[in-house]
Amino acid sequence: MPGYCAFCSVAAEGGQSWCPDCFADMPWNHGACELCAEPLPTAHVGTLRPRQCGRCLKRRPAQTSSWVPLRYESRVTRLVQRYKFAADPRAGEVLVQLMLASLDHAPELGAAMIGVPGQHERTRECGFDHTAWLTRRLAARLALPVIVAERVRETPSQRGLDRLSRRRNVKRAFVVNRSLPAAVTIVDDVMTTGATLDSLAKACRDAGAERVTAVAFARTPSARI
């Protein structure tokens, strides 16, 4: 309900969708890998060394940075599921508001936003493209234009696939049929292994982007994949 915390239902102040206690208790993804947003061990947080995980040091992703403010855990998992599977508009709005509330920690977002193109069959089943909705709302709040990428082939669901299979599944699945500015932002709701965003980032590079920032609402820690 408007005016109440979306997580505990107590009265919320200042037009926020959460109370201070729930906001502080969110599973924030601080100290994550700067390339893929993988949560890093606590020992890496606050160090002056580049924050990159072992996988990115071995195989650098196509994006030049990632901003994923939360981990896909506890109340965040429930919020995302309400948005994606129940088409709950308030849950979607809370997602956008939480992302905007963490902008102080975000890298430079570039001159345009590009959402991961949805699966046509899944979009028909759900009645809406949840990533396109999220991209449009976020871009509008940041006064950025939206550029539409194309999914050139339907891909099986990523659920249940290991890291290598996910990468193969979405390889060359996207194309951007126009020249892009030097810096752009690509958007998905949840980053699991990063394979989908990596594939879209490659398509953006092919279209002329030199710097690609990958943005998602939540990151699944690799221990859960």
Residue 23 lies in a domain: no
Residue 66 has pLDDT above 60, yes or no: yes
Domain, as residue range, for 58: 29-224
Residue 152 lies in a domain: yes
Distance CA 90, CA 80 (A): 11
Provide the pLDDT for residue 125.
62
Residue 149 lies in a domain: yes
For 218, the token pair is 């939540």
For 87-123, the pLDDT digits (tens) are 888 899 999 999 999 887 788 889 999 999 977 666 6
Cβ neighbour number for residue 177 with a 10 Å cutoff: 11
Is beta strand 150-151 parallel, antiparallel or unpaired with respect to 174-175? antiparallel
Residue 13 lies in a domain: no
H or E element at residue 211:
strand 211-219
Count up the domains in the chain and report the number: 1
Average pLDDT of the segment spanning 169-197: 91
Question: b vs e for 108-118, b when ≥16 Cβ sit within 10 Å of the residue's Cβ?
Answer: ebbbbbbbbbb
Closest by CA to 100, choosing from 58, 69, 71, 133, is 69
Residue 61 has pLDDT above 80, yes or no: yes
Provide the pLDDT for residue 31.
85
Provide the pLDDT for residue 1.
56
Residue 36 lies in a domain: yes
Distance CA 170, CA 61 (A): 14
Largest CA distance in the chain: 49
Residue 203 has pLDDT above 60, yes or no: yes
Provide the pLDDT for residue 209.
97
Average pLDDT of the segment spanning 22-42: 90
Residue 203 lies in a domain: yes
Provide the pLDDT for residue 86.
83
Average pLDDT of the segment spanning 35-49: 70
Residue 156 lies in a domain: yes
- Give the whole-number percent of the chain exceeding pLDDT 90: 57
CATH label of the domain that carries residue 87: 3.40.50
Q: Is the dihedral of CA 126, 2, 146, 73 positive or negative?
A: negative
pTM of the model: 0.88
Residue 142 lies in a domain: yes
Provide the pLDDT for residue 162.
61
Residue 62 has pLDDT above 70, yes or no: yes
DSSP state of 186: E
Provide the pLDDT for residue 78.
93
